[in-house]
Amino acid sequence: MPTILITGSNGLVGRELIRAFDKLPEYTVIATSLSPDKITMPDVAFHQLDITNRQSVAQLFNDLLPNVVIHSAAVSAPDTCETDKELCNRVNIEGTQNVADACKAIGAKMLFISTDFVFDGAMGPYSEIDIPNPVSYYGWSKLEGEKITQQLNNWSIVRTVLVYGDTVELNRSNFVTWVKGALEKGENIKVVNDQYRTPTYAPDLAFGIVKAAEWLVYNKGNEIWHISGPLPLISVYDMALKIAAFYNLDSSFIETIASASLNQPAKRPPVTGFILDKAANHLNYKPIEFTKGLEKLGL
Ligand SMILES: NC(=O)c1ccc[n+]([C@@H]2O[C@H](COP(=O)([O-])OP(=O)(O)OC[C@H]3O[C@@H](n4cnc5c(N)ncnc54)[C@H](OP(=O)(O)O)[C@@H]3O)[C@@H](O)[C@H]2O)c1
Protein backbone atom coordinates (compact mmCIF):
# COMPACT_ATOMS: atom_id res chain seq x y z
CA MET A 1 0.00 0.00 0.00
CA PRO A 2 1.71 3.26 -1.09
CA THR A 3 2.29 5.82 1.65
CA ILE A 4 1.70 9.44 0.68
CA LEU A 5 3.17 12.24 2.80
CA ILE A 6 1.71 15.71 2.32
CA THR A 7 3.43 18.95 3.39
CA GLY A 8 1.34 22.04 4.18
CA SER A 9 -1.67 19.96 5.29
CA ASN A 10 -3.18 22.91 7.16
CA GLY A 11 -3.38 24.93 3.93
CA LEU A 12 -6.29 25.29 1.54
CA VAL A 13 -4.81 22.80 -0.93
CA GLY A 14 -3.20 20.47 1.64
CA ARG A 15 -6.42 20.09 3.61
CA GLU A 16 -8.38 19.19 0.46
CA LEU A 17 -5.71 16.65 -0.48
CA ILE A 18 -5.96 14.97 2.91
CA ARG A 19 -9.73 14.72 2.45
CA ALA A 20 -9.33 13.22 -1.05
CA PHE A 21 -6.69 10.63 -0.11
CA ASP A 22 -8.53 9.72 3.08
CA LYS A 23 -11.40 8.40 0.91
CA LEU A 24 -9.04 6.01 -0.91
CA PRO A 25 -8.35 2.83 1.09
CA GLU A 26 -5.40 1.92 -1.16
CA TYR A 27 -3.24 4.71 0.31
CA THR A 28 -1.77 5.39 3.73
CA VAL A 29 -1.77 9.14 4.29
CA ILE A 30 0.56 11.19 6.48
CA ALA A 31 -0.17 14.88 7.04
CA THR A 32 2.54 17.40 7.99
CA SER A 33 2.41 21.14 8.53
CA LEU A 34 4.23 23.95 10.32
CA SER A 35 1.53 24.65 12.93
CA PRO A 36 -0.43 22.13 15.02
CA ASP A 37 -3.03 20.07 13.14
CA LYS A 38 -6.16 22.03 12.16
CA ILE A 39 -8.01 19.20 10.43
CA THR A 40 -7.83 16.17 12.69
CA MET A 41 -8.93 13.02 10.87
CA PRO A 42 -9.05 9.66 12.62
CA ASP A 43 -7.16 7.68 9.93
CA VAL A 44 -4.52 10.30 9.14
CA ALA A 45 -1.35 10.57 11.20
CA PHE A 46 -0.17 14.15 11.66
CA HIS A 47 3.40 15.32 12.30
CA GLN A 48 4.37 18.92 12.86
CA LEU A 49 7.22 19.70 10.43
CA ASP A 50 9.09 22.88 9.56
CA ILE A 51 10.44 22.31 6.05
CA THR A 52 13.15 24.92 6.60
CA ASN A 53 14.68 22.59 9.21
CA ARG A 54 16.78 20.34 6.99
CA GLN A 55 17.58 17.86 9.74
CA SER A 56 13.93 17.45 10.83
CA VAL A 57 12.79 16.83 7.25
CA ALA A 58 15.49 14.21 6.67
CA GLN A 59 14.74 12.52 10.00
CA LEU A 60 10.95 12.39 9.54
CA PHE A 61 11.18 11.04 5.97
CA ASN A 62 13.69 8.44 7.10
CA ASP A 63 11.42 7.36 9.97
CA LEU A 64 8.22 7.20 7.90
CA LEU A 65 9.58 6.13 4.49
CA PRO A 66 6.81 7.60 2.29
CA ASN A 67 6.66 6.40 -1.33
CA VAL A 68 5.39 9.74 -2.63
CA VAL A 69 5.76 13.20 -1.09
CA ILE A 70 3.27 15.83 -2.22
CA HIS A 71 4.96 19.13 -1.47
CA SER A 72 2.26 21.77 -1.01
CA ALA A 73 3.77 23.86 1.83
CA ALA A 74 4.83 27.33 0.73
CA VAL A 75 4.63 31.01 1.42
CA SER A 76 1.70 31.31 -0.97
CA ALA A 77 0.97 35.05 -0.71
CA PRO A 78 2.70 36.91 -3.57
CA ASP A 79 2.87 40.19 -1.62
CA THR A 80 4.53 38.50 1.38
CA CYS A 81 7.14 37.00 -0.95
CA GLU A 82 7.78 40.39 -2.53
CA THR A 83 8.21 42.21 0.78
CA ASP A 84 9.97 39.40 2.69
CA LYS A 85 12.23 37.79 0.13
CA GLU A 86 14.34 36.20 2.84
CA LEU A 87 11.33 34.27 4.21
CA CYS A 88 10.26 33.38 0.67
CA ASN A 89 13.74 32.04 -0.13
CA ARG A 90 13.89 30.08 3.09
CA VAL A 91 10.51 28.35 2.66
CA ASN A 92 9.87 28.18 -1.10
CA ILE A 93 13.41 27.47 -2.25
CA GLU A 94 15.53 26.11 0.63
CA GLY A 95 12.50 24.29 2.10
CA THR A 96 11.80 22.69 -1.28
CA GLN A 97 15.47 21.71 -1.58
CA ASN A 98 15.26 20.07 1.87
CA VAL A 99 12.17 18.12 0.81
CA ALA A 100 13.78 17.07 -2.50
CA ASP A 101 17.02 15.98 -0.80
CA ALA A 102 15.13 13.98 1.81
CA CYS A 103 13.10 12.32 -1.00
CA LYS A 104 16.32 11.46 -2.80
CA ALA A 105 17.87 9.96 0.34
CA ILE A 106 15.01 7.47 0.79
CA GLY A 107 14.10 6.95 -2.89
CA ALA A 108 10.70 8.68 -2.58
CA LYS A 109 8.96 10.26 -5.57
CA MET A 110 8.11 13.96 -5.30
CA LEU A 111 5.05 15.84 -6.55
CA PHE A 112 5.45 19.62 -6.34
CA ILE A 113 2.47 22.00 -6.32
CA SER A 114 3.19 25.04 -8.45
CA THR A 115 1.34 27.99 -9.90
CA ASP A 116 0.17 29.92 -12.96
CA PHE A 117 2.33 32.77 -11.55
CA VAL A 118 5.38 31.12 -13.18
CA PHE A 119 4.03 32.72 -16.41
CA ASP A 120 4.15 36.42 -17.28
CA GLY A 121 0.47 36.56 -18.22
CA ALA A 122 1.05 38.12 -21.63
CA MET A 123 -0.45 35.21 -23.60
CA GLY A 124 -2.73 33.08 -21.45
CA PRO A 125 -4.26 30.55 -21.35
CA TYR A 126 -1.17 28.39 -21.02
CA SER A 127 -0.38 24.77 -21.75
CA GLU A 128 2.39 22.70 -20.16
CA ILE A 129 4.80 23.37 -23.03
CA ASP A 130 4.66 27.16 -22.71
CA ILE A 131 7.78 28.85 -21.37
CA PRO A 132 7.63 30.30 -17.83
CA ASN A 133 8.68 33.88 -17.27
CA PRO A 134 7.60 35.01 -13.77
CA VAL A 135 6.89 38.68 -13.05
CA SER A 136 6.94 38.41 -9.23
CA TYR A 137 9.30 37.06 -6.60
CA TYR A 138 6.66 34.49 -5.60
CA GLY A 139 6.44 33.24 -9.19
CA TRP A 140 10.21 33.14 -9.46
CA SER A 141 10.55 31.21 -6.18
CA LYS A 142 7.99 28.63 -7.34
CA LEU A 143 9.81 28.23 -10.66
CA GLU A 144 13.02 27.59 -8.69
CA GLY A 145 11.05 24.96 -6.73
CA GLU A 146 10.07 23.33 -10.04
CA LYS A 147 13.71 23.20 -11.13
CA ILE A 148 14.75 21.63 -7.80
CA THR A 149 11.99 19.02 -8.17
CA GLN A 150 13.06 18.18 -11.73
CA GLN A 151 16.52 17.18 -10.51
CA LEU A 152 15.07 14.03 -8.92
CA ASN A 153 14.69 10.76 -10.82
CA ASN A 154 10.94 10.54 -10.22
CA TRP A 155 8.95 13.74 -10.08
CA SER A 156 5.72 15.42 -11.01
CA ILE A 157 4.70 19.09 -11.08
CA VAL A 158 1.07 20.16 -10.79
CA ARG A 159 0.46 23.82 -11.53
CA THR A 160 -2.84 25.38 -10.55
CA VAL A 161 -4.74 28.69 -10.68
CA LEU A 162 -6.65 30.76 -8.08
CA VAL A 163 -8.05 28.05 -5.85
CA TYR A 164 -11.36 28.54 -4.02
CA GLY A 165 -12.86 26.32 -1.38
CA ASP A 166 -14.27 26.13 2.10
CA THR A 167 -11.66 27.66 4.40
CA VAL A 168 -13.76 28.44 7.47
CA GLU A 169 -11.93 25.99 9.76
CA LEU A 170 -8.52 27.05 8.41
CA ASN A 171 -8.65 30.69 9.51
CA ARG A 172 -7.74 31.64 5.97
CA SER A 173 -9.85 33.55 3.46
CA ASN A 174 -9.97 33.03 -0.26
CA PHE A 175 -11.48 35.11 -3.03
CA VAL A 176 -15.01 33.73 -2.62
CA THR A 177 -15.15 34.12 1.17
CA TRP A 178 -13.56 37.60 0.94
CA VAL A 179 -16.11 38.95 -1.59
CA LYS A 180 -19.08 37.27 0.11
CA GLY A 181 -18.02 38.48 3.57
CA ALA A 182 -17.52 42.09 2.43
CA LEU A 183 -20.81 42.31 0.51
CA GLU A 184 -22.72 40.80 3.42
CA LYS A 185 -21.38 43.58 5.63
CA GLY A 186 -22.11 46.21 2.96
CA GLU A 187 -18.42 47.08 2.55
CA ASN A 188 -17.06 48.56 -0.67
CA ILE A 189 -14.43 46.43 -2.37
CA LYS A 190 -12.12 47.14 -5.26
CA VAL A 191 -11.70 44.29 -7.72
CA VAL A 192 -9.39 44.20 -10.74
CA ASN A 193 -10.92 44.03 -14.20
CA ASP A 194 -7.69 43.34 -16.11
CA GLN A 195 -6.66 39.97 -14.67
CA TYR A 196 -8.11 36.84 -16.22
CA ARG A 197 -8.01 33.36 -14.70
CA THR A 198 -9.55 29.86 -14.77
CA PRO A 199 -10.49 29.64 -11.05
CA THR A 200 -10.14 26.20 -9.51
CA TYR A 201 -12.61 24.44 -7.21
CA ALA A 202 -10.38 22.94 -4.48
CA PRO A 203 -11.91 19.41 -4.58
CA ASP A 204 -11.35 19.32 -8.39
CA LEU A 205 -7.70 20.22 -7.85
CA ALA A 206 -7.39 17.49 -5.21
CA PHE A 207 -8.85 14.95 -7.67
CA GLY A 208 -6.32 16.03 -10.32
CA ILE A 209 -3.43 15.77 -7.87
CA VAL A 210 -4.56 12.29 -6.75
CA LYS A 211 -4.55 11.22 -10.42
CA ALA A 212 -1.13 12.79 -11.02
CA ALA A 213 0.20 11.01 -7.90
CA GLU A 214 -1.22 7.73 -9.22
CA TRP A 215 0.60 8.35 -12.50
CA LEU A 216 3.81 8.70 -10.50
CA VAL A 217 3.13 5.66 -8.31
CA TYR A 218 2.71 3.49 -11.42
CA ASN A 219 5.94 4.83 -12.98
CA LYS A 220 4.28 6.33 -16.03
CA GLY A 221 6.87 9.10 -16.29
CA ASN A 222 7.85 12.54 -15.03
CA GLU A 223 5.26 15.13 -16.09
CA ILE A 224 4.12 18.71 -15.67
CA TRP A 225 0.32 18.92 -15.37
CA HIS A 226 -1.92 21.98 -15.66
CA ILE A 227 -4.88 21.46 -13.30
CA SER A 228 -7.35 24.34 -12.90
CA GLY A 229 -10.95 25.32 -13.52
CA PRO A 230 -12.17 25.10 -17.12
CA LEU A 231 -11.96 27.71 -19.88
CA PRO A 232 -13.29 30.23 -20.84
CA LEU A 233 -11.16 32.73 -18.99
CA ILE A 234 -13.01 34.87 -16.52
CA SER A 235 -11.93 38.25 -15.18
CA VAL A 236 -11.53 38.62 -11.43
CA TYR A 237 -14.18 41.36 -11.58
CA ASP A 238 -16.63 38.98 -13.31
CA MET A 239 -15.92 36.41 -10.63
CA ALA A 240 -16.93 38.95 -7.99
CA LEU A 241 -20.15 39.73 -9.91
CA LYS A 242 -20.96 36.01 -10.14
CA ILE A 243 -20.41 35.66 -6.39
CA ALA A 244 -22.75 38.60 -5.71
CA ALA A 245 -25.42 37.18 -8.05
CA PHE A 246 -25.12 33.67 -6.63
CA TYR A 247 -25.53 34.77 -3.00
CA ASN A 248 -28.10 37.41 -3.90
CA LEU A 249 -25.90 40.25 -2.62
CA ASP A 250 -25.71 43.85 -3.78
CA SER A 251 -23.03 44.11 -6.50
CA SER A 252 -23.02 47.91 -6.38
CA PHE A 253 -20.43 47.66 -3.57
CA ILE A 254 -17.98 46.16 -6.10
CA GLU A 255 -15.81 48.79 -7.75
CA THR A 256 -13.66 47.86 -10.75
CA ILE A 257 -10.08 48.95 -10.70
CA ALA A 258 -7.02 48.53 -12.92
CA SER A 259 -4.23 46.40 -11.40
CA ALA A 260 -1.76 49.29 -11.67
CA SER A 261 -3.93 51.45 -9.38
CA LEU A 262 -3.96 48.87 -6.59
CA ASN A 263 -0.27 49.42 -5.76
CA GLN A 264 0.23 45.86 -4.55
CA PRO A 265 3.87 44.99 -3.78
CA ALA A 266 3.87 42.00 -6.18
CA LYS A 267 3.04 42.39 -9.85
CA ARG A 268 0.36 39.95 -11.05
CA PRO A 269 0.38 38.27 -14.48
CA PRO A 270 -2.57 39.76 -16.40
CA VAL A 271 -3.92 36.77 -18.36
CA THR A 272 -3.13 33.26 -17.16
CA GLY A 273 -5.58 30.36 -17.01
CA PHE A 274 -4.80 26.91 -18.30
CA ILE A 275 -5.42 24.71 -21.31
CA LEU A 276 -6.39 21.40 -19.74
CA ASP A 277 -6.21 18.97 -22.67
CA LYS A 278 -3.29 16.96 -21.29
CA ALA A 279 -4.95 16.38 -17.89
CA ALA A 280 -8.32 15.70 -19.55
CA ASN A 281 -6.82 13.10 -21.90
CA HIS A 282 -4.48 11.31 -19.50
CA LEU A 283 -5.94 11.87 -16.02
CA ASN A 284 -9.64 12.01 -16.96
CA TYR A 285 -9.71 15.44 -15.33
CA LYS A 286 -13.06 17.24 -15.79
CA PRO A 287 -13.37 20.37 -13.63
CA ILE A 288 -16.58 22.24 -12.94
CA GLU A 289 -17.21 25.86 -13.91
CA PHE A 290 -17.25 28.68 -11.37
CA THR A 291 -20.98 29.02 -10.61
CA LYS A 292 -21.30 25.25 -10.24
CA GLY A 293 -18.35 25.40 -7.81
CA LEU A 294 -20.17 28.04 -5.74
CA GLU A 295 -23.21 25.77 -5.63
CA LYS A 296 -21.16 22.81 -4.43
CA LEU A 297 -19.31 24.88 -1.85
CA GLY A 298 -22.55 25.33 0.02
CA LEU A 299 -21.30 28.34 2.03
N1 LIG B 1 -4.29 28.89 -3.27
C2 LIG B 1 -4.07 29.20 -4.54
O3 LIG B 1 -4.86 29.93 -5.17
C4 LIG B 1 -2.87 28.62 -5.25
C5 LIG B 1 -2.73 28.88 -6.62
C6 LIG B 1 -1.63 28.36 -7.29
C7 LIG B 1 -0.70 27.59 -6.60
N8 LIG B 1 -0.83 27.37 -5.26
C9 LIG B 1 0.18 26.58 -4.59
O10 LIG B 1 -0.46 25.56 -3.85
C11 LIG B 1 0.27 25.27 -2.68
C12 LIG B 1 -0.66 25.32 -1.49
O13 LIG B 1 -1.25 26.61 -1.43
P14 LIG B 1 -2.38 26.95 -0.37
O15 LIG B 1 -3.32 27.86 -1.01
O16 LIG B 1 -2.88 25.70 0.25
O17 LIG B 1 -1.51 27.77 0.66
P18 LIG B 1 -1.83 28.12 2.17
O19 LIG B 1 -3.27 27.94 2.47
O20 LIG B 1 -1.17 29.41 2.42
O21 LIG B 1 -1.04 26.98 2.94
C22 LIG B 1 0.34 26.90 2.93
C23 LIG B 1 0.77 25.89 3.95
O24 LIG B 1 2.19 25.89 3.99
C25 LIG B 1 2.56 25.68 5.32
N26 LIG B 1 3.88 26.23 5.60
C27 LIG B 1 4.33 27.50 5.48
N28 LIG B 1 5.60 27.59 5.90
C29 LIG B 1 5.98 26.33 6.26
C30 LIG B 1 7.17 25.78 6.79
N31 LIG B 1 8.25 26.51 7.03
N32 LIG B 1 7.19 24.45 7.05
C33 LIG B 1 6.11 23.66 6.81
N34 LIG B 1 4.95 24.14 6.34
C35 LIG B 1 4.89 25.45 6.07
C36 LIG B 1 1.53 26.38 6.18
O37 LIG B 1 1.52 25.70 7.40
P38 LIG B 1 0.67 26.07 8.73
O39 LIG B 1 -0.71 26.49 8.27
O40 LIG B 1 0.63 24.76 9.46
O41 LIG B 1 1.37 27.14 9.46
C42 LIG B 1 0.26 26.21 5.36
O43 LIG B 1 -0.49 25.12 5.80
C44 LIG B 1 1.41 26.29 -2.59
O45 LIG B 1 2.59 25.64 -3.01
C46 LIG B 1 1.01 27.37 -3.57
O47 LIG B 1 2.14 27.96 -4.16
C48 LIG B 1 -1.90 27.86 -4.57
Which residues, 6+ apart, have CB-to-CB distance to 220 below 8 Å?
none
Taking residue 66's Cβ as centre, other Cβ atoms within 10 Å add up to: 23
One pLDDT digit (tens) per residue for the chain, 299 residues = 899 999 999 999 999 999 999 999 999 999 999 999 987 788 899 999 999 999 999 999 999 999 999 999 999 999 999 999 999 999 999 999 999 999 999 999 999 999 999 999 999 999 999 999 999 999 999 999 999 999 999 999 999 999 998 866 666 678 899 999 999 999 999 999 999 999 999 999 999 999 999 999 998 999 999 999 999 999 999 999 999 999 999 999 999 999 999 889 999 999 999 999 999 999 999 999 999 999 998 77
Q: What angle do CA 55, 59, 60 make, to 5 degrees?
A: 120
Q: Is 269 in the pocket of ligand 1 (CB under 6 A)?
A: no
The DSSP element (H or E) to which 101 belongs, if any, is helix 96-106
Which domains can be identified in the chain, with CATH numbers?
3-166+199-229+273-288 (3.40.50.720)
Q: What is the DSSP letter of 132?
A: P
Q: Name the residue at shortest CA distance from atom 11 of ligand 1.
A: 72
Q: Which residue in 9, 13, 8 sits closest to 159, CA to CA?
A: 13
Q: CA-based diameter of the chain, in Å?
A: 56
Question: DSSP state, 30?
Answer: E
pTM of the model: 0.97
The reply to whether ligand 1 has any atom less than 6 angstroms from the CB of 84 is: no
Residue nearest to atom 20 of ligand 1 (CA): 76
- Can you tell me whether residue 180 is helix, strand or coil? helix
Residue 15 CA, closest ligand 1 atom number? 16
* Ligand 1 contacts CB of residue 106 (under 6 A): no
Name which residue sits closest to atom 21 of ligand 1, judged by CA: 11
Q: What is the CA radius of gyration of the chain?
A: 19
Backbone angles phi, psi at 197, to 5 degrees: -140, 170
